[in-house]
Amino acid sequence: MIHVLDTRLHHAVLDTFEATFGKRPADAQIQIQTTRAEFEGDRTVVVFPLAGLAGAPPHVAAEKLGEALVASQDWISGHNVVKGFLNLTLTDASWSEALRDAVGTPSWGCAPASSRPQVMVEYSSPNTNKPLHLGHLRNNFLGYSVSKVLEAAGHDVAKVQIINDRGIHICKSMVAWQKMGNGETPSSTGEKGDKLVGRYYVAFDKAFKAEVAEGVARGLDPKEAEAASPIMQAARTMLQRWEEGDPKVVGLWKTMNGWVYEGFNATYHDMGVTFDKLYYESDTYLLGKKHVEQGLEQGVFFQKEDGSIWVDLTDDGLDEKLLLRGDGTAVYMTQDIGTAILRFEDHPGLDRQVYTVGNEQEYHFKVLFLILKKLGFAQADRNHHLSYGMVELPEGKMKSREGTVVDADDLLLEMRSTARAISDELGKVDDFNEEEKALLARQVGHGALKYFLLKVSPPKSMMFDPKSSIDFFGNTAPFIQFNVVRCKSILRGAEVDPGSLTWSLDTPLDAAERTLAAGVLAFPNVVQEAAEAYDPSVVANHCYDLIKAFSSFYQDHPIAKEENSDKRNMRLALCAAVSTTVSNGMGLLGIDMPERM
């Protein structure tokens, strides 16, 4: 854990080392860390890497360096050496000063807006045939949170989504609806549009499988049977008609897409995620086609006898990849090429793009980025695939056929209902009106879910156990929210304005107080680190550690009983700083903090 005082310490070590040993270490050789609780001191300099340069054994060099630091820096009050570790104690005043600065900064941890280049973050981008499920929740929360983290790190962020509104998959549900729909609409059935269309996609799949099975029974091999399936042929024909602009097909397409996105938007609203701009695949696939055709002319790609266009990536250790079908229609990759290029054209100042997409598509993005490079696209290496692992259930992977898919709407509802039930049972907010109670249930229930999905580092696949994830104790958002509420309540009770608290800078801070201060002071670095790694879990775990430290601190440091006003004010400032830091951190995860609960 690095914090703001470390920058100062870093330079002091560099200069003092040079003055003492006559050589200047490289920045990377200076390692500073939090002193372990069992040793005396606040910050520890790891001297092993410096021993060679000092020409002395680590413990000797550490001792000399420690003496020199204490002598030359009035804010370092003491030192001790254990093996090659130099433990330093900082003065009370240095802690108090840093704490005072933190308390006076409501946006603590957030860098000035737009102090760094613009970044585009894509997330969500679901398949329109399937209602959103648990996996999409991880995607949306992750993408949204990474956007917030990048913003806090000073970047100008554009949150975008690609709407997959064309392609064979759309035609499948359209065909099924035409054949079996009897004119059903979301308003006639009362069903959410995405759920209705999803149902017809399933119906298509069922009919298709039945036709294939029938074909196989007639003696065809499976591939032939698939190609011969009438319903699949109908879907292909429809895709061609769509690309030709057939008004009837386009009309149906607009209607059904409208249903889906009405449904999705309701879920996005419920999740609390937003987008700054939407890109439509139907707008970008033609641009993609153009670039593929240009690539073919330039000899970057090649064409097979059936007219299909491919890229050969065998020299890069990958395969041949299809870019355009034999019948001239576009595939997923075609539109992704167009979309990537369009986005950089749209945003002249754009430094890079981040794609939040599951790790099952790592190959796809590797190929995409390589193709962009081969096309000579200037920003080809300014793309990042933010890959994340699957969410698994105790029974294994979610499988729609086995009915083990956890629906996003259902889960969100269940989370708020559970939070509401607990809240009602406790009766602590009986004075809330219905609207306030519903808001609290949402903040707590949805917060629990967001935190659960974001506290795990993205590359890892994670286990979602519906029973234990509803748990509101331990490393959970409700625990954090609750303790921040306590902080706020303490400050309310003390009737002070945190920003105007003053105390003598020499007021001593004990070990527990220094730990809390260090957690607060480290927060800006934590945000930077999270931004560089595209990893909100860094923020989540830091917030938990800090609030937990506060929780046990308050257990035996009840502020109200403190008589000395310097000490009391310092502790109130600490309380305010913790509250602000953790609230800001949770905000970066898209989690709201209630005032009371």
Partner RNA sequence: GGCCCCGUAGUUCAAGGGAUAGAAUAGGCGUUUCCUAAACGCUUGAUCCAGGUUCGAGUCCUGGCGGGGCUGCCA
Question: For residues 557-586, which are near RNA according to CB under 7 A?
Answer: none
Assess 14 for contact with RNA (CB under 7 A). no
Residue closest to 149 by CA, chosen among 127, 182, 123: 123
CB of 75 to RNA, least distance (A): 19
| CA dihedral over 111, 579, 447, 471, signed as positive or negative | positive
List the structure tokens of 73: 């820096």
Residues 423-442 that bind RNA (CB under 7 A): 423, 426, 428, 440
| Residue closer to RNA (CB basis): 250 or 422 | 422
Assess 11 for contact with RNA (CB under 7 A): no
Give the interface segment with RNA, choosing from 293-301, 353-361, 515-523, 574-582 (CB under 7 A). Answer: 353-361
Contact positions with RNA (CB under 7 A) in 153-172: 164, 167-169
To the nearest 10 degrees (0 to 180), the angle between helices 134-152 and 511-533 is: 110
- Exactly one of 322, 393, 406, 496 binds RNA (CB under 7 A); that residue is 322
Q: Rounded to an integer, what distance in angstroms lies between the CA atom of residue 596 and that of residue 428?
A: 9
Instruction: List CB contacts of 246: < 8 A, sequence separation 6 or more.
Output: none
**Residue 359 makes contact with RNA by CB under 7 A:** yes
**Minimum gap (Å) between residue 389 Cβ and RNA:** 6
Torsion over CA: 557, 559, 565, 567 (sign):
positive
Pick 46 or 111: Cβ nearer RNA: 46
Residue type, 338: G
Residue 74, phi then psi, degrees to nearest 5:
-75, -10
Question: Does position 470 bind RNA by CB under 7 A?
Answer: no
Site for RNA in 61-100 (CB under 7 A): 82-85, 87
Judged by beta carbon, residue 81 or residue 354, the one nearer RNA is: 81
Examine residue 364 and tell whether it contacts RNA (CB under 7 A).
yes
For RNA, the closer CB: 379 or 475: 475
For residues 408 and 268, give the distance between their C-alpha atoms in angstroms, rounded to a whole number.
10
Please report the DSSP string for 252-321 in residue order. HHHHHHHHHHHHHHHHHHHHT---SEEEEHHHHHHHHHHHHHHHHHTTSSEE-TTS-EEEE-GGGT--EE
CA dist 471 and 453 (Å) reads: 13
Establish if 486 lies at the interface with RNA (CB under 7 A): yes
Q: Which stretch binds RNA (CB under 7 A): 34-42, 147-155, 374-382, 571-579?
A: 34-42
Q: Shortest distance, CB of residue 359 to RNA, whole angstroms?
A: 6
* Residues in 268-307 at the binding interface with RNA, rule: CB under 7 A: 281, 304, 306
Contact between 474 and RNA by CB under 7 A: the answer reads yes
The stretch among 107-115, 135-143, 408-416, 535-543 that binds RNA (CB under 7 A) is 535-543
Chosen residue from 36, 206, 218, 254 binding RNA by CB under 7 A: 36
If one asks whether residue 9 binds RNA (CB under 7 A), the answer comes out as: no
- How many binding residues for RNA (CB under 7 A)? 80
> Which of these segments, 27-35, 214-222, 286-294, 371-379, binds RNA (CB under 7 A)?
27-35
Region 187-226 residues binding RNA, contact defined as CB under 7 A: none
CA 351 – CA 115 distance, rounded (Å): 13
CB of 428 to RNA, least distance (A): 5
Picking from 546, 542, 563, 565, the residue whose alpha carbon sits closest to that of residue 554 is 546
| Largest distance between two CA atoms of the chain | 93
Q: Is 49 in the site for RNA (CB under 7 A)?
A: yes
Helix, strand and coil content of the chain, in percent to the nearest 5, comes to 60, 15, 30
The nearer residue to RNA, 308 or 379, going by C-beta atoms, is 308
Chain residues 104-133 in contact with RNA, contact rule CB under 7 A: 127
Amino acid at position 462, single letter:
M
